[in-house]
Each structure stands twice: as C-alpha cells, then as structure tokens.
Amino acid sequence: MSELLKRFEGRVPKVAIVLGSSLGSFADAVKDAIRIPYGELVGFPVPKISGHAGEFVVGKVGGKEIAVLAGRAHAYESGNPAVMRPVIEALKAAGIETLILTNAAGSLNPKMRPGSIMMLTDHINQSGMNPLIGSHGDENFVSMTDAYDPKLQKALKAAARAEKLKLHQGVYVWYSGPSFETPAEIKMLRIVGGNAVGMSTVPETILARRFGLRVVALSVITNLAAGIEGASPSHEETKREGAKAAMRMKTLLIRFIKDLK
C-alpha cells in the first residue's frame, strides 16, 4: 500500500483534482473530509504563492470519493518544471486514474471575457521547459495526442449543458512566468493558435500522461491578456476574478464528478 493511500483511512478515490489560483473554495464542497497539509506528505511541495493553500483533502463530492489538491507549486518558484512529479507519482501509486486540472488564465480572445470558463482541448508549450527532461527510459517518449481525454471532454460539455453554464473551448499556452507576457508575445500567441495563457497545468498534464492518468482541464479566465483592449494583468486581478468565478466552476465540477462513469 502506498504511503499516501495509508492516510486515506480506507477510502479509495479514483479521481483527483488540482485547484488553481483562488479556486481553493472548492475544497469546502468536500463532505466527510480528511485534510492533510502538504508539509506532512513526503515529496509534496509547499506552495509559496498566495491563493494556493497547500492542503490535500479526501472525501465525497457528488456522491463519489475524490482527492482534492488545494494548491500547486509552479515551475517558476524553483526553476524546476518537474516540481509536481512526486505528487503525480503519489496519486498514481494511490490508485488515482483520472486527473482534473484547473488554473487561472488570461484570455487571448476579447470575446472570452474575465469570469468565463474554458475547457482545454490542447496546449502549446512556450516555456522552453519539460518535466521529463533528465529522465531515462522509453516510457518518457510520451505521446501528447489527445493529452486531454476526448471522452472526459465530452462528459464535461454534458455537465455544462445540464447546469446551463457556458463552456468555452480552446488551446492553452504555458508561459513560465512569474512575469506576465508582453503585448508583443500575446500578439504572437494569438497568431499561432492560442486561446488562453497561463503559468501552470502543462507540466502536470505531461507528467500525468507519462504515468498513465487520464486528464481533463479547465481554465478560469481572470483577465484579458496584455495589450488586448489596453489590458495590463496583475496577480491581484487574477485572484479577484478567480474568486468571482469560483462558484460557477464549483457547480460545473460537482456535476461533472457526479455524472462521471
């Protein structure tokens, strides 16, 4: 039995969710919860960025056992794109099969306004980093076709329809951060096919696929990206707008988890 599973008190969740900036309130929806600070779990990085609690929660959502990671560590905090690898490995060892990733992101499309929710259909890695660099073995040559599971995407769209929530779809671009992108960079990303930009998620997706987990991901749009309608993003704006959209995200996720086969 894995060390993480021993902390679950007999519960065996198959689904885990990573909560992005200011989405930590979702953890409050977990019933009959066990709460474990990251600092008590071997290999779990303690987030140093506001808006990330750094707490592992196990309990029920939508009638199903689920593991909730309230907060993540980012590559820009240490320069290590594999900072979440011990976490993903621990989830796999504990029997997790499906990983739901969430994040806060800037919109590259002025029609996708702050407060919107976007389902990731694909991603572009503009960071120059990869969490598998330095690993050895053929299993690291991971196919990223359908990195975001088509069946899970279909289920997420069905959940949005059932809750009468507008769900955008698009390509997420990973920039390393922590500085925001320049207007010139944003112009380039729009040209190459990006729809939203952020500083997380992609390394976790790569790691999850490396360890055989199914992935689905959502962005809360917290701002228009730099230069669009004169926008100049800030971390305070990201936290503020993320908190405003948290209830809609919570409604969507609870329905998705409840209906998940």
Which residues carry out catalysis? 21, 52, 74, 76-77, 104, 199-200, 223, 235
Q: Is the separation of the CB atoms in 234 and 259 below 8 Å?
A: no
Distance CA 168, CA 195 (A): 10
Distance CA 255, CA 61 (A): 9
Distance CA 34, CA 23 (A): 19
Using the Cα atoms of residue 84, residue 88, residue 90 and residue 91 in order, give the sign of their dihedral.
positive
The whole-angstrom distance between residue 236's C-alpha and the CA centroid of its chain comes to 19
Distance CA 4, CA 49 (A): 24
DSSP conformational letter for 139 = G
Closest CA relative to residue 181, chosen from 217, 138, 232, 222? 232
Residue 195, CB-side half-sphere exposure with 13 Å CA sphere: 20
Distance CA 68, CA 33 (A): 10
Which ranges of the chain does DSSP label H, i.e. alpha helix? 3-6, 75-78, 85-93, 150-162, 183-191, 202-210, 235-259
Count other C-beta atoms under 10 Å from residue 49's C-beta: 18
